Amino acid sequence: MASDKVWTVEDAGVLLKRMGVYGAEDSLAGEEIGDGNLNYVFRLSGKESGRSVIIKKAVPFLRVVGDSWPLTEERASIEAQALEFQARVAPEHVPALYAYSPDDHAIVMEDLSRLKVMRGVLNEGRQFPKFAGHVAHFLAQTLFWSSDRSGHIEDKKRRAAEMTNPELCRITEALIFTDPFYNAQTNRIEGYLGEAVEALWRDSHVLERVFFLKDRFMTAGQALVHGDLHTGSIMVGAEETRVIDPEFAFYGPMGFDIGLLLANLFLNMLGHAARKTSKAHIEYLRRTAQTVWVQFAGEFAALWRETSYDGIFHTSEIERTYLRGVLRDARGYAGCEMIRRTIGLAQVSDLTLIEPEGSRRNAQEAALGAGRDLIKGYETNEDIDSVLAVVDRWMTDIERW
Amino acid sequence: MASDKVWTVEDAGVLLKRMGVYGAEDSLAGEEIGDGNLNYVFRLSGKESGRSVIIKKAVPFLRVVGDSWPLTEERASIEAQALEFQARVAPEHVPALYAYSPDDHAIVMEDLSRLKVMRGVLNEGRQFPKFAGHVAHFLAQTLFWSSDRSGHIEDKKRRAAEMTNPELCRITEALIFTDPFYNAQTNRIEGYLGEAVEALWRDSHVLERVFFLKDRFMTAGQALVHGDLHTGSIMVGAEETRVIDPEFAFYGPMGFDIGLLLANLFLNMLGHAARKTSKAHIEYLRRTAQTVWVQFAGEFAALWRETSYDGIFHTSEIERTYLRGVLRDARGYAGCEMIRRTIGLAQVSDLTLIEPEGSRRNAQEAALGAGRDLIKGYETNEDIDSVLAVVDRWMTDIERW
């Protein structure tokens, strides 16, 4: 099958039968459900079996750009390996992996139609009280057990080598850490933001910190990070939270996952503030961000103490300093994410859908400002309240505008 | 050939002919020259060809300990890959690689009998004025071209994955970063050092810093480091300097190589001070340490500017901060190395051969003290003079004793 072939739901059905997911007699029907940025994603169900699945197939280029950005299909293998690892340590928070075909670069997994994409429901102002605890648990389990703190030192090094992900990391390096900080073609900057953006680009203090955050992203192999943990990568229901799409996974700084998630909560907060919707929703988001960190840190520390691999080095002072370092990184990465989601290639509906323009502008300016301030203070950040305080200052500004 | 076989010079000759290094008719003679810690190393020469080579063969256990510490022969592949990379960027400072047999885990390389092991000649008080510039050049070329600063981002990630070296890193993690900091069986502690060592082990400030230095060693994949760059891994002559034995190579923090080298120069300084030999030799070592750093940093920065991959992020402030970070790491690693070479499993003749005991004790106490002080201030170190100042303080103490 030629690699530049357009994939149809019928092709997906043929593949699913070949992979043994459905019997030859089952009649399949379905639809394409992916956003089409990177992969083909279909949902199919079998009439006879009554079974419904998701199949995700990688193609050898960045689909959103076309074949001018070639991309090997290795990312399917990364995603399968990441899902498998995550399922070992946090099975209740990832889709079940049903089958993986390395030859077809195709992954078949649980259909999560019962759940909603987190970003969408947050835009609607809906609240999911269990979300924070769930995602904190997912983060603690996946980051702890893939880190050196778990004591699986040689395993970790071998897995890190297998899961080297240069092509997808390159996308992050460009779109999060480079392009938004100069006049790159990929940016999409609203005219009214021109002055604020120019000021950002002239701020050498910011650029310096972004360089070192990028350098850490590229060199600090702390743990198996999801690598793209925004609210569009999380499916939620009242009782259930599942993290999807770990194709950007690699061994990187733990704070990257936490920072991206916090940033997307903050962007939603600013969006709601600018639209002057519900104060209660903003308060829910704020509490969610705080709980994600506090519960993550608590659970990570508890696992560390139980496992006690670090022997003489496991003191409460070291534990505190280590986790403070993770939060510092998270703050810095949250800042980068807020900026790139406001002026970079891949923006978020939390901001772009705000009407009228004046409110959108308020939210975007606050996102740029908060992003900048998160970056600036990241290396000396003490606690989660200091992170929230930065966002709060910009919330106050929006409310005044 | 059974893996636990004792290797003889005759076996080495048979292998060299099978690898095509010598013709079938050449009559070979030679001797075992290795220290026997990890590998078999033989020097052989052919009567007819007149050619002389070194052959190094890995066996599947840590030879110094025996088959109770199994070690895969992968390290031969690591060494061959490291030598190949180093030869591309600094050919004048490594032995030429003549042949490598992955099946035999054997490397054949240039015979460097014309040169001397640096540690030995330093113990004799000999000076090599070109050494500092040579080794600075070796460090700048190998560390720059294997780092992200060179712009070879995807290559670097793939090479880092191929050169994952968990087994040899485990030795470093134990012998440099763990065992010397508690009462581990591997330590060899002179009775008269007992009190000083106990005080070190109680110093939670030191332990905390060692933990984070170890964590950086395990996670900071900055560049392809040699991994064991002490003065016993360097061969010198008046006009020539060659770095050997890169089997510990992996992608780690640049400061690790620099720190180990500095530490071994410092240990030699303290040894000479305690023996009250030549002040001029101490001054030579001090200048050498300073020059290694200054020339390394200058050459690294020049390569960075010429290559200019980092675009908007390449400012003089970022350059300064980046290199200061490398030096901070180097200082911390130098401190760990000084301590482990004084009380750990693998000690150095710079100290152990000092007679009488009173002088040896002076040098060892100073090495412990300087190691501790280097570790303590490493995260805020500003420049090479601050590093030297720590050692100078202990030199003064020795001279007073």
Q: Report the pLDDT averaged over residues B255-284.
A: 96
Tokens of A169: 């990391």
Q: In this predicted structure, which of B5-9, B19-23, B207-211, B276-280 has the lowest mean pLDDT?
A: B5-9
CA dist., res. A362 & res. A354, Å (int): 10
Residue A4 is predicted with a pLDDT of 60
Domains in chain A, CATH or no CATH each: 9-110 (3.30.200.20), 116-400 (3.90.1200.10)
Query: pLDDT tier at A67 (50, 70, 90 boundaries)?
Result: confident
Peptide bond into A356 cis (omega under 30): yes
User: What is the per-residue pLDDT across B65-91, written as a single tens digit (0 to 9) for each?
Assistant: 777 778 888 899 999 999 999 999 999
Give the C-alpha distances (Å, rounded to integers) separating B85 from B100, B200, B242, B305.
Answer: 14, 39, 14, 22
Which pLDDT does position A113 carry in this prediction? 96
- B33 touching A, CB under 8 A? no
Q: Which residue of B has its CA nearest to A201?
A: B312
pLDDT at B2: 43
Task: Give the N- to C-terminal CA distance of chain A in Å, as an integer.
Answer: 57
**Does the pLDDT value for residue B331 go beyond 60?**
yes
Residue A240 burial (10 A CB sphere; 0-12, 13-18, 19+)? middle
pLDDT at B259 over 80: yes
Beta strands in B87-243 (DSSP E): 97-101, 106-110, 116-117, 223-225, 234-236, 241-243
CA distance A153 to chain B (A): 8
Average pLDDT over residues B123-135: 97
CA distance B356 to B363: 11
Facing residues of A397 across strands? none
Interface probe for A, chosen from B75, B81, B157 (most Cβ of A below 10 Å), is: B157
Cα separation, B75 vs B2, whole angstroms: 18
pLDDT at B1: 39
Inter-chain touch A221–B221, beta carbons under 8 Å:
yes
* Nearby residues of B178 by Cβ (< 8 Å), 6 or more positions away: A311, A312, A313, B184, B214
Q: Identify which of A11-25, B32-46, B49-63 has the greatest average pLDDT.
A: A11-25
Chain pair A-B, CB pairs under 8 angstroms: 97
Residue with more model confidence, B153 or B278 = B153
Distance (Å) from the C-alpha of residue A23 to the closest C-alpha of chain B? 40
Q: Please check whether residue B70 is in contact with residue B17, taking contact to mean a CB–CB distance below 8 angstroms.
A: no
- Which structure tokens are listed for B192? 């008269």
Q: Choose among B111, B81, B74: nearest CA to B96.
A: B111
- The CA distance from B338 to the nearest CA of chain A, in Å, is 19
To the nearest whole number, what is the mean pLDDT of chain B? 95
Q: What is the pLDDT of residue B4?
A: 60
- What average pLDDT does the segment A105-115 reach? 97
Tens-place pLDDT, residues B343-385: 999 999 999 999 999 999 999 999 999 999 999 999 999 999 9
Total residues found in chain A within this entry: 401
**CB-CB neighbors (< 8 A) of B215 in chain A:** 148, 322
Select from A164, A310, A313 the Cβ nearest to the Cβ of B157.
A164
What's the mean pLDDT in A114-127? Answer: 97
Mean pLDDT of the A33-61 span: 90
Residue B268 confidence class, pLDDT cut points 50, 70, 90? very high
ipTM of predicted assembly, 2 dp: 0.95
B317 CB neighbours in chain A (<8 A) are 204, 208
Cα(B139)–Cα(B293) distance, integer angstroms: 10
Task: Determine what percent of chain B is predicted with pLDDT higher than 90.
Answer: 90
State residue A52's pLDDT score. Answer: 97
pTM equals 0.96
Identify the band that residue A2 occupies on the pLDDT scale cut at 50, 70 and 90.
very low
For residues A127 and A121, the answer to whether their CB atoms sit within 8 Å is: no
Question: Within 13 Å, how many C-alpha atoms sit on residue A319's CB side?
Answer: 19
pLDDT tens, A185-233?
A: 999 999 999 999 999 999 999 999 999 999 999 999 999 999 999 999 9
**Chain A: residue nearest B168 by CA?**
A154
Residues 154-213 of B with CB under 8 A from A: 154, 157-158, 160-162, 164-167, 169-170, 173, 178, 181-182, 204, 207-208, 210-212
Under DSSP, is residue A289 helix (H, G, I), strand (E, B) or coil? Answer: helix
SS3 call for A262: helix
Mark out the alpha helices in A204-253 (DSSP H runs): 204-219
Q: Where are the beta strands (DSSP E) in A198-253?
A: 223-225, 234-236, 241-243, 250-252
DSSP character at residue A25: T
Tokens of B52: 């002389």
Q: What is the mean pLDDT of residues A9-30?
A: 96
Give the DSSP H/E element, type plus range, for residue A286. helix A279-307
> At a CB cut-off of 8 Å and minimum separation 6, what does A358 contact?
none
B309 vs B38: which has the higher pLDDT: B309
- pLDDT higher than 60, residue A176: yes
3-state class of A164 per DSSP? coil
Kindly report the average pLDDT of chain A as a whole number: 95
Chain B positions in Cβ-Cβ contact with residue A215 (cut-off 8 Å): 148, 322
B311/A178 touch (CB, cutoff 8 Å), yes or no? yes
Burial of A131 (0-12, 13-18, 19+ CB in 10 A): buried
- Residue A68's pLDDT band (boundaries 50, 70, 90)? confident
pLDDT at site B251 = 98
- Residue among B299, B266, B301, B304 at smallest CA distance from B282: B266
